Amino acid sequence: MKTEAAKVSLRKQLITCAVLCGLAVAVILLFHSKPYVSTLLSGLPLLYQILLGITVGVSYWVLSLLGSRFAAHRKTTQSIADNYNRLDLSGWNPLWIAIAAALGEELLFRGALQPLLGIWITSALFVLAHIRAYKLNKLAKRVLFQSASIFGISVVLGFVAAYAGLVAAMIIHAAMDTFGLYAVRRMARAPATAAI
């Protein structure tokens, strides 16, 4: 009988978010000029950022639903699902994990590092930060595809943060991760339901 590895808990994910936020605050306080909050909230008015984030997030969900019909059984899709299935995706956890990742990662990468390093270098660092989560430590076609996808998404989020605002990037990131984590949970449960 195959034993299932222990799931990564929501608590651990929230601690990771707190660490990323702490790093972001440290970088901002050490290397950014005052006023910090207004710099982080620059861009479009807050309501427009929220509306943009929701619109792009919903559009992503719709396109992903259409695309998932064609990509559900591909090796890359299965690999991503296997990597994220290590998380505890019970109950509302996908939503909380997505919000925590969006808050921590966007604050650190787009809010703290991007103004110092630019979109391209920050996006490369974003890929490096995801090596363990996506198991990007082997040179293979899947790894190159996933790395390029993560880099591309990071670049888009970088431009959103630069031209629309950090809040819009956070909402888009949270929407993408929420959809992805619920999709992974659905894929993980599919074999059990199909057997019934």
- Per-residue pLDDT tens digits for 113-129: 999 999 999 999 999 99
Mean pLDDT check: name the lowest of 62-66, 89-93, 137-141: 137-141
Confidence grade of residue 82 (pLDDT, cut at 50, 70, 90): confident
Q: How many CA atoms lie within 13 A of 24 on its CB side?
A: 22
Question: 89-126: string of b/e by CB count within 10 Å (b at 16+)?
Answer: beeebbebbbbbbbbbbbbbbbbbbbbeeebeebbebb
Tell me which residue of 116, 107, 123, 121 sits closest to 41, measured CA to CA.
107
Confidence grade of residue 2 (pLDDT, cut at 50, 70, 90): very low
Q: What is the DSSP letter of 109?
A: I
For residues 129 and 139, give the distance between their C-alpha atoms in angstroms, rounded to a whole number.
17
Q: What pTM does this model have?
A: 0.88
Confidence grade of residue 1 (pLDDT, cut at 50, 70, 90): very low
pLDDT at residue 3 is higher than 50: no
pLDDT at residue 11 is higher than 90: yes
Q: Which residue has the tokens 């050490």?
A: 30
Q: Which residues contact 141 (CB under 8 A, 6 or more apart)?
A: none
Confidence grade of residue 73 (pLDDT, cut at 50, 70, 90): low
